[in-house]
Every structure is written in structure tokens, then in C-alpha cells.
Amino acid sequence: MPSNLFLVRHGQSEANIMQKTSKAGDQSLYTEETMTVPDRSWRLTELGVQQAKVAGAWIAEQGVGFDRAIVSTYTRTRETAANLGLNVRWEENRVIRERSWGEIGSMSKQDFARLYTQNKAYRDSDPLYWAPPAGESIANVAENRVRNILSTLHRENARENVLMVTHGEFMWATRLVLERWSDEEFLERDEDKSQTIHNCTVLQYSAVRPEDGQISDKLTWVRRSWPVQVDGEWTMFVGGWEPFDRKYFTNEELLEKADANRHFFQDSFGS
């Protein structure tokens, strides 16, 4: 695998503004015109451009020379990549595009809850495997598209440094695969607001041990950083490095996991 893999979420987009105001109860931005805009076409806001510049300056300060730079084909990621201001040559790849939201992509949360009652109930009960009507689940993105791009990097960019500008849901799916989360670990993080992937979050994976610079055979550490304003000044919040590795289980540990779920029927049928 690469020695360093940076994933950057796009900056704030106009669609993010629509979603934010809708969540606050204001549906006025969902008009006949805006609800027909393809998801790939949304532009960054002025704030989104500023976030990209702040994130790009911080990435440059890390002193990592990138051997490959990949950007999603969506407009908001193209704008973000350009505004990072890094000296790289970008290649577009639709594999790292946003998760498909299918029929509900241009719909407010309130309309989704009203028109797709059963599908919403499925989402609430099983967000990892839930898929919007005609859309993708996080598990789909992880096992299909994330593994696709990681296989490419394994073949073509071993021990190199790679930068990708992508989307929040794709980054969630990447964490699921690279950090080898169990279903339960995903659900815990999905409920944890401190794990939010903010606009222009930089997710940095490294095979270089932070304390002494020793290089591992695989990506083993991760940290998250994102732009914030402090007293009116832009800076990057930089999280600490966290190690991760493949997990193995004994028979007893697997049974312990199973016992976390209750039985619904006490007697075996047909006995």
C-alpha cells in the first residue's frame, strides 16, 4: 500500500446549505429548480472555498510530496481540489464519487420520512446495510468501490504518497475497510458526533510510525484534521494519531458477540 494516503472531503457546498436549513425546519430552499439539480453539479459556497484553502495550506505544511493526486468527477470536489493550491497534477476518477442517494438525493429529510416510511424505518434500524431506493448502502460503497480503488493503489502506488479529494460517505466507507471496523464499531461511530467528517476534513493514513519514523509494511495509523475558526481566524484542528490493525477472534469471542443479541424464540422448531 502507499506510505501515506490523504483523503479530503470537499468544502461546504450549496447542497450542504439546503440540507442544513432543512434540518432546522426551513424547507424554502427545496424548490422545483433546486430539486432537479444533479448531485454532481453542486458548487462550493464562499465558505467552502475558504475551507479548501485552509486545508490545502495545512497539507502543504506536512511536507509530503504526492506521487498521485485523484479527484472525484463531481463539481464540488473539482473546486475543492483546485482551491487546495497544491503543486500536483490531478486525475479524475468516478470510483471515488459520492454515495448514490437514488430517489431521495434531491429530497428534504421531511419529505423522505413522509414518502418513504418503511425505507426510513430500515435506515433507522440498520444504517450500515440500508440503501435508499435505487441508491447505495455504505456497505455497498465499501465492498465495491473502496476496495476497487485500494486494489489499484496496492498495484500501482506501493510505498508512494497518494492524495484523494472525495466525499464524506466515501470516507466513512474507507474507514470501514481500512480500519477494519466490525458492524458494531461502525454503528458506535455513526452515533458518535465527535466522529463527524466535517467539510474539508483531512483523513490521513500512514505506514510511518509517528514516534520514530519507522515504516511499516502497511497503513497502520490514522488521524483526522479539519478547518475551524478560532477568534475569527482560520486554523486546522489536528487530531492525534490512532493505531489500527486487523482483528482476530476465538470461538468464545465470536459467541460473546452473538450473545449481545437476544433470542426471539426459546424453543427449537421441529424438535
91: domain CATH number is 3.40.50.1240
What are the pLDDT tens digits along the chain (271 aa)?
Answer: 899 999 999 999 988 888 888 777 877 777 877 777 888 888 999 999 999 999 999 999 999 999 999 999 999 999 999 999 999 999 999 999 999 999 988 888 888 889 889 999 999 999 999 999 999 999 999 999 999 999 999 999 999 999 999 999 999 999 999 999 999 999 999 999 999 999 999 999 999 988 888 888 889 999 999 999 999 899 999 999 999 998 899 999 999 999 999 888 876 666 5
Angle at 227 between CA 50 and CA 215, to 5 degrees: 120
Name the active-site residue from 10, 167, 169, 179: 10
Q: Which helix (H) or strand (E) holds 6?
A: strand 4-9
Would 150 be classed as within a structural domain? yes
| 263 noted as active-site residue | no
52 is in an annotated binding site: no
Residue 176's domain spans which residues?
A: 4-258
Q: How many CB atoms lie within 10 A of CB 193?
A: 5
Beta-strand (E) ranges in 152-249?
161-166, 202-206, 221-230, 233-238, 242-243
Would 199 be classed as within a structural domain? yes
DSSP state of 16: H
Would 44 be classed as within a structural domain? yes
200 φ/ψ sector (left φ>0, alpha ψ -120 to 50, else beta) = left
Looking at residue 270, its pLDDT comes to 60
How buried is 83 (Cβ within 10 angstroms: 0-12 exposed, 13-18 middle, 19+ buried)? buried
How buried is 12 (Cβ within 10 angstroms: 0-12 exposed, 13-18 middle, 19+ buried)? buried
Would 229 be classed as within a structural domain? yes
Looking at residue 271, its pLDDT comes to 54
User: Which residue type is seen at 248?
Assistant: Y
13 is in an annotated binding site: yes
- β-strand partners of 230: 233
- What global pTM score does this model have? 0.91
Closest CA to 196 of 9, 56, 20: 9
Record the cell numbers describing residue 268, joined without a space: 427449537
- With H, G, I as helix, E, B as strand and everything else as coil, classify residue 63: coil
9 is in an annotated binding site: yes
**Cβ-based neighbours of 8, under 8 Å, separated by 6 or more:** 55, 59, 80, 81, 84, 163, 164, 165, 166, 200, 201, 202, 203
Name the active-site residue from 98, 136, 169, 179: 98
Q: How many domains is the chain partitioned into structurally?
A: 1
Would 189 be classed as within a structural domain? yes
167 is in an annotated binding site: no
10 is in an annotated binding site: yes
Would 81 be classed as within a structural domain? yes
| 33 noted as active-site residue | no
How buried is 32 (Cβ within 10 angstroms: 0-12 exposed, 13-18 middle, 19+ buried)? exposed
16 is in an annotated binding site: yes
76 is in an annotated binding site: yes
Would 270 be classed as within a structural domain? no
Would 266 be classed as within a structural domain? no
Looking at residue 96, its pLDDT comes to 97
Please compute, for residue 43, the number of CA atoms within 13 A of its CA located in the half-sphere on the CB side.
Answer: 3
15 is in an annotated binding site: yes
